[in-house]
Structure 1
Amino acid sequence: MSRLHDMGGRFGDGPVKPEPQDAPVFAEDWHARALAITLTSGALGQWNIDTSRHARERLAPLDYTRFSYYEKWLAGLVTLLVEKGVLSRADLVAAEAGGGRQKEGTGAEVAAPHPLAARALQAQEVAAALARGGPADRPSTIMPNFAPGDAVRCRRPGGNRLVAGGHTRLPTYAVGAKGQILRLHGSHVLPDSAAHGLGEAPEPLYAVVFPAMELWSAPEHPRDEVVLDLWQSYLEPV
């Protein structure tokens, strides 16, 4: 992930301020719409959750720092819609102007239905689609190298080893840190591969527990522990 996006455990960004327990689920009406359009666009089947995460972390640094949470979602979605050919830039300009879908380079409105129209998520299908979710557990030929109680270290250097500068779920603050296997979750899709269209490449996924002192030089509560879900290729034996 990008350095800007990889904010976990970083100093200097100020305290985390939890919202009140009675705060509304969505602070603004458009927040709910942003979530809805992101989920329904994903139902078109043109990308996966790792691709969408990578789209958000690729936002320009200036945009990433000034955008609110759901503005980041919408910006990432727009990137995916254009990159995957679902919509063109002309379509987006026409929609903003109140027009219809455009034929690239002509300005003429297209009467034919969108090629993905049949995959559009209908209102009566939403509840069942959300209930199904998007499970990422898959069978794998890669056998687990570790068992609960084993001592491990997050490999160094971190980052995506398949694509330079690519997506990964290994946070920078854990690179080189030593922890202990808490449990094996089974085999799951490897984000470093799936985000870039290289296949699901499932491998064992572990819950790994780290002492706070191992992750930060001066933790506020030294006896705290942090549990991270990490793929086998992120880890090495100690």
Structure 2
Amino acid sequence: MKLQHTLGGLEGLDPVQPEFRVFVEPWEERIFGIHTAMMALSPQLNLPQTSSTFSTVWTWADLRKGAEAMNPFDYFKYRYYEKWLGGISGYFVANGYITQAEIDARTDEYLADPAKPLPSGGTPDVDDRIHTYLMDGDSPWHQWADKPRFAVGDIVLVGDPPTVEHTRLPGYLRNKVGVVETVYDDAFSYLCSTGPDGIGPAMPVYCVKFDPQHLWPGNAEPGFSIYADLFDAYLRPVVDRAAA
């Protein structure tokens, strides 16, 4: 869904009750650990093989795609890690690691006996790979493939590309005009292709400056600007505005 990325610019979402604790419930920390292990064990990483049976790709993008695929009412109803739990569970079912019937049965077991011990597992080789991943990470940085189309000071129009599963373009910036403030060194990719949304191979990224009066006419405080880091695929010369 277009508008579930960077919701801070949208109106009408009040009241907002910020949660400053990283983990509210103990199970949330466990979900974060499962997500981290899935990323570390993904086969596209150049890390030592392990005894783990996890054999498919999982990235931050997959986590976000799962959340943004939710019914909008559910998206706003559930807390942060509840969305993670749903996305991870759906991924395991979709990739054949477990069936929905098995998840439902285990859920019923723990609802009937909340004190039942949690399963334990893990091996030293798996733990070592996860630790290595946490230390090294995986970078989206690449050397230039193409020269940037825009320079500092250029006026650009933000496009309105179709989105299927995930977008890196805030909905409130679509079809808006801004000025290139910074052209970042080198090029950057994302964790996966976003398809018709336009993000695939490494490309230039720009910091673009926007006038809040243009984003929210008659409803913005004077004297400040909005800045957004945007992929090259999302921008076009302002002369193309009629074709946007």
- TM-score if structure 1 supplies the norm length? 0.74
Paired residue type of 2:182: R
User: Are positions 1:73 and 2:84 aligned together?
Assistant: yes
RMSD: 3.2
Question: Could you say if the C-alpha distance between residues 219 and 137 of structure 1 is closer, same or farther in structure 2, counting changes exceeding 3 Å?
Answer: farther
1:93 equivalent to 2:104? Answer yes
Does the CA-based 8 Å contact 1:44-1:119 persist in structure 2?
Answer: no
My pick for the range that moved more, 209-218 or 187-196, is 187-196
Distance 1:5 1:153 in 2: 19
Closer, same or farther: CA 194–174 of 1 in aligned 2, 3 Å: closer
Shift in Å, 1:125: 4.8
Distance in 1 between residues matched to 2:200 and 2:123, nearest whole Å: 26
Instruction: Give the match for residue 178 of structure 1.
Output: 177
Q: For 1:17 and 1:159, locate their aligned partners in 2 and report how far apart those are by CA, in whole Å.
A: 31
1:42/1:48 contact within 8 Å kept: yes
Give me the whole-angstrom Cα distance separating, in 1, the residues matched to 2:183 and 2:72: 36
Which structure 1 segments of 5+ residues have no match? 100-116
Q: Which residue of 2 aligns with 1:224?
A: 224
1:62-112: per-residue Cα shift (whole Å, max 9, x none)? 32122111101111111222223333324423543569xxxxxxxxxxxxx
CA distance in 2, matches of 1:132, 1:195: 28
Cα 1:141–1:69, aligned 2, differ >3 Å: closer, same or farther?
same
Q: Name the counterpart of 2:62.
A: 51
Q: What whole-Å deviation, never above 9, does each CA across 1:6-28 have from its counterpart, x for those lacking one?
A: 63422111044445xxx543222
Change in Cα spacing, 1:63 to 1:213, as seen in structure 2 (3 Å) is same
Which amino acid is the alignment partner of residue 76 of structure 1?
G
1:106 aligned residue: none
Cα drift, residue 119 of structure 1: 11
Which has a greater percent of helix? 2
Gaps of 5+ in 2: 43-56, 111-121, 239-244
- Pick one of 15, 34, 37 that aligns with 1:37: 34
Question: For 1:128 and 1:69, how far apart are their aligned partners in 2?
Answer: 27
- Aligned-partner Cα distance in 2 for 1:192–1:224: 34
Higher mean displacement: 43-52 or 88-97: 88-97
Residues 116-135 of structure 1 aligned to structure 2 (within 5 Å): 121-122=126-127, 124-135=128-139
TM superposition score normalised by structure 2: 0.72
Contact preservation (8 Å) 1:50, 1:191 = yes
Check whether the contact 2:65–2:166 (CA below 8 A) recurs between aligned residues.
Answer: yes
| SS of match in other structure, 1:179 | strand
Distance (Å, rounded) in 1 between the aligned partners of 2:199 and 2:211: 34
2:53 aligns with none
User: Is the alpha carbon distance of 1:17 and 1:223 closer, same or farther for their aligned partners in structure 2, counting shifts above 3 Å?
Assistant: farther
- For the pair 1:211 / 2:211, whether they are aligned, the reply is yes
Q: Does the aligned pair in 2 maintain the 1:190–1:231 contact within 8 Å?
A: no
Contact kept, 8 Å, 2:203 with 2:232, in 1: the verdict is: yes
> Could you tell me how far 1:137 is from its partner in structure 2?
1.7
CA distance in structure 1 between the partners assigned to 2:149 and 2:5 by the alignment? 30
Q: Residue in 2 aligned with 1:168? A: 167
CA contact under 8 A between 1:167 and 1:191: conserved in structure 2? no
